[in-house]
Amino acid sequence: MSAVELHHTFDGPEDAPVLVLGSSLGTTGAMWDDQVPAFSERFRVLRYDTRGHGGSPVPSGPYAMDDLGADLLALLDRLEIERASFCGLSIGGMIGMWAASESPERIDRLVLCCTVPHFPPPDLWNERIDTVRAEGMGPMVDPALERWLPDDVRKARPEAEAHLREQIASIPPEGYAGCCEAIRDMDLRPRLASIRASTLVLAGSEDPATPAENVRPLADAIDDAYFVEIDGAAHIANMAQPEAVSAAVLQHLAG
């Protein structure tokens, strides 16, 4: 499948180093709204919508991780960005692993949030794929929010839950299903040794989707990597604990 032209936005000074933000399955670049003010003080922040999500095209599935990674590299080519740092969460992190191993010269520093290189069992993904193709996104919304934000965050910051609810409800079912197929079929573990970027691996202490004990081995498998656990965060760690995530990411990007 050929690369698609991803919808994207820029924030920050035009002459600053580029930081690309990759979003979770079921969200758009708006997932990073809390981070943009801090990140854009020092970086040219490039947010994009994954294939099948937000303003990006929605080709028929199945998608493969090769497709999603090629979309990202094609975007960098189109924007004439030779080298950038990359911070991705969930499927965004998976795409980051692919890109950093496929074209190590393109990725300066790497942040992998709440993500894993291999995500069995296939039945988990097949159930979601069948459901959204038959019934739309409705059945996905509440279970996703339970994985994404801890209960205390949902109560204390209902605007965060509302922001995520709006995003997942808006995702085209075929785009969501296609990305589920990419996650179901991926195994990025053989690629990890090819990653040359200095890497921060982040996990949420309350993440039921990618628990910290499943995320931590990434830091062991990548040569120049270290692990940080964010207390009080579930799967969308940057929205559960925005200040802690922003601080950890900026410290890593500063070297």
State residue 162 phi and psi, 5-degree precision. Answer: -65, -40
For the chain (length 255 residues), average pLDDT per consecutive 10?
94 98 98 98 98 98 97 98 98 98 98 98 98 98 97 96 97 98 98 98 98 98 98 98 98 95
57 class by beta-carbon count within 10 Å (0-12 exposed, 13-18 middle, 19+ buried): middle
The predicted structure's pLDDT at residue 255: 86
Of the candidates 17, 14, 81, the residue with the CA atom closest to the CA atom of residue 255: 17
Q: Which spans in the chain are helix H?
A: 36-39, 65-78, 91-102, 122-135, 138-148, 151-156, 158-170, 173-185, 212-215, 217-221, 237-240, 242-253
pLDDT value at residue 52:
98
The pLDDT assigned to 1 comes to: 72
Task: Report the alpha-carbon distance of residue 16 to residue 133 in Å, rounded.
Answer: 42
Closest CA to 129 of 79, 93, 179: 179
pTM over 0.95: yes
19, 84 in Cβ contact below 8 A?
yes
> Cα Rg for the chain, rounded, in angstroms?
16
Domains in the chain, start-ordered, CATH in brackets?
8-253 (3.40.50.1820)
Q: How many secondary structure helices (H) and strands (E) does the chain include? A: 12, 7
CB 81 within 8 A of CB 60: no
Q: How far apart are the first and last CA of the chain?
A: 37
